[in-house]
Structure 1
Amino acid sequence: MATENSRTPAPSGELAGRRAVVTGGSRGIGAAIARELLDAGAHVVISARGEAPDAPPGAVFVPADLSTRDGVRHFADTARELLGGVDIIVNNAGGCRSFQSVLELENDWQYTMDINFLAAVRLNAALVPAMREHGGVVVHVSSIATVAAYPNLLHYAAAKSALETYSKGLSAELAPDGIRVVSVCLGNVETPASKTARTRIVELHGGDADDLTGQWAAEIPLGRLGDPRDIADAVRFLVSPRASWITGSNIVIDGGKTASLC
């Protein structure tokens, strides 16, 4: 019987020579995606706000704060210079800083929109026009918060909902140019960021972080939190020639969580 540890190897070299950028690529899901693209033969440039001691070997790290226009511009210009052009864009940067009532989060709304939605809009605007000449793939990383609408995450859910709508519309515009655009809608994945989130939630609302982890896992039909490799495997497929007829889709990767909400 197959388990999460018995993964079918993807074709080696299927992205040989392709040039990819992965935002938020220094750890967690972004780092796992970068590793998969490197393993497939791609040249990869990643971004993160601070230092990147855990950046995947072989990836080129560019420090940049993508919640700002200047940060996006700096990253786009540097990536273009390093790679000589871009074939694959993975807009993975995101997250939220607060887990309180949205009525108390006026200052966080703009940041949440900037990093989860506008960072992708701005990066695409900088890099996609040149891709019209040769085609490519754009991936947007979203969240099942758009479906579940958790009360303390409405600012995050609203930003990701905007991203999904934008992704679908962009796919229709760019399809005639041979550019595919997809989004992946993620459930609870075990990452450094998710551990930090659980700690903050417990600090605000009480309880135990380990108990909360168990509760989240119990709510998933497949019985566990996601692994970053679950997401990276899917993204590798979506940016590869094996997915050449997939565009405009929002792929849910959540262990069955949202199916149980219907």
Structure 2
Amino acid sequence: MSQSVAIVTGASQGIGQSTAVRLARDFDSVALVARNRANLERTATAVNAAGAESLVIDVDLADPAAARTVVDTTLTTFGRIDALLNIAGAVPQVDLFDMSDEQWDHGLALKLHGARRLTVAAWPALKEAKGSVVLISGNTAVLPKAPYAAVGTINAAIVALAKAFADRGITDGVQVNSVLPGPVMTGRRRSQLESWAPLHDMTVEEATAKFPQEAGIARYGEPDEIANLMAFLVSPTARWMTGSALRMDGGEVKSV
């Protein structure tokens, strides 16, 4: 793919960072979006080393003005947008009866509305390029549980939103899909385990083994595995796939 440009949100760490570096093999330029500039600069170094030009855009996508900033900056720098990967948006894992309105609102503002605004803002450029969009959800969208109520609710909304964008994309020539990862061993998850383990009289190693066993899976996923799926979805090979919600969760979801 020549003279191609991808935008990756949440690119400062975890799945977003891995996806940005993976896309550097397929795209000429990758715009990196997140709040933490220092971490974005590290991602940019890896993207450049992998062969693509990088652009760092440090904004908070919960801010309604951020989407326009991302799109305008990318178009001013690179002149086009071929792919948009909406990966930003950690949602607090708080019990249904304990989560505050502020926590709900922040999760919605960043993950749902941040992705919605950015996709809308980028749509004219994506339409011109006949580009692709991926929105990251999570398998909690189909595994709603009280301890993860906000995560599941917002992830389900992301899947529905992607379906709606995909419907419009059939007319406009823009491909849209969503990805539902299961438990992935990111830096954030590792920190959670390190905090959780001593509270339950476990070593970090014991805590790390506990959840996959309870979830009925062999192991945690790795960010690079999700990144490879993302790269496939925005490649020419997957072009006829649109409106799909793809689970990659090690078999945690047992339903058909």
Instruction: Tell me if the contact between 1:65 and 1:72 (Cα under 8 Å) persists in the aligned partners.
Output: no
Q: 1:93 corresponds to which letter in structure 2?
A: A
1:42, 1:184 → 2: CA distance? 24
Question: Residue deviations 1:6-61, cap 9 Å, x none?
Answer: xxxxxxxxx33211000001221111111111012331001111122531332321
Could you tell me which residue of structure 2 aligns to residue 169 of structure 1?
A: 164
SS of aligned partner of 2:137: strand
Alignment of 1:118-137 (within 5 A): 118-137=113-132
Deviation, 1:123, is: 0.2
Number of residue pairs matched by the alignment: 246
Whether 2:66 is the aligned partner of 1:76: answer no
1:220, 1:134 → 2: CA distance? 41
Whether 2:43 is the aligned partner of 1:48: answer no
* Partner of residue 23 from structure 2, selected from 37, 41, 44: 37
Deviation, 1:190, is: 0.6
Whether 2:240 is the aligned partner of 1:245: answer yes
Deviation, 1:158, is: 1.0
Instruction: Tell me if the contact between 1:116 and 1:156 (Cα under 8 Å) persists in the aligned partners.
Output: no
1:102, 1:70 → 2: CA distance? 32
Unaligned runs of 5+ in 1: 1-14
Instruction: Tell me if the contact between 2:92 and 2:150 (Cα under 8 Å) persists in the aligned partners.
Output: no
* Partner of residue 224 from structure 1, selected from 207, 211, 219: 219
Q: 2:13 corresponds to which letter in structure 1?
A: R
Could you tell me which residue of structure 2 aligns to residue 143 of structure 1?
A: 138
* Partner of residue 154 from structure 1, selected from 141, 149, 153: 149
Give the fraction of aligned pairs with identical amino acids, expressed as a percent: 27
Could you tell me which residue of structure 2 aligns to residue 7 of structure 1?
A: none
Could you tell me which residue of structure 2 aligns to residue 28 of structure 1?
A: 14
Closer/same/farther in 2, CA of residues 222 and 101 from structure 1, 3 Å limit: closer
Closer/same/farther in 2, CA of residues 220 and 136 from structure 1, 3 Å limit: same
Could you tell me which residue of structure 2 aligns to residue 187 of structure 1?
A: 182
Instruction: Tell me if the contact between 2:96 and 2:150 (Cα under 8 Å) persists in the aligned partners.
Output: no
2:196, 2:121 → 1: CA distance? 36
1:251, 1:26 → 2: CA distance? 23
Instruction: Tell me if the contact between 2:183 and 2:249 (Cα under 8 Å) persists in the aligned partners.
Output: yes
Instruction: Tell me if the contact between 1:22 and 1:90 (Cα under 8 Å) persists in the aligned partners.
Output: yes
Question: Residue deviations 1:82-128, cap 9 Å, x none?
Answer: 22121100000011235344444221000000111110100011111
2:94, 2:191 → 1: CA distance? 11
Q: Using structure 2 for the length normalisation, give the TM-score.
A: 0.88
Closer/same/farther in 2, CA of residues 201 and 170 from structure 1, 3 Å limit: farther
2:143, 2:196 → 1: CA distance? 17
SS of aligned partner of 1:39: coil
Deviation, 1:67, is: 1.2
1:119, 1:161 → 2: CA distance? 15
Question: Residue deviations 1:207-243, cap 9 Å, x none?
Answer: 5443332122224555111011111111111100000
Closer/same/farther in 2, CA of residues 230 and 73 from structure 1, 3 Å limit: same
RMSD (Å) for aligned C-alpha atoms: 2.0
Instruction: Tell me if the contact between 1:91 and 1:139 (Cα under 8 Å) persists in the aligned partners.
Output: yes
2:222, 2:197 → 1: CA distance? 22
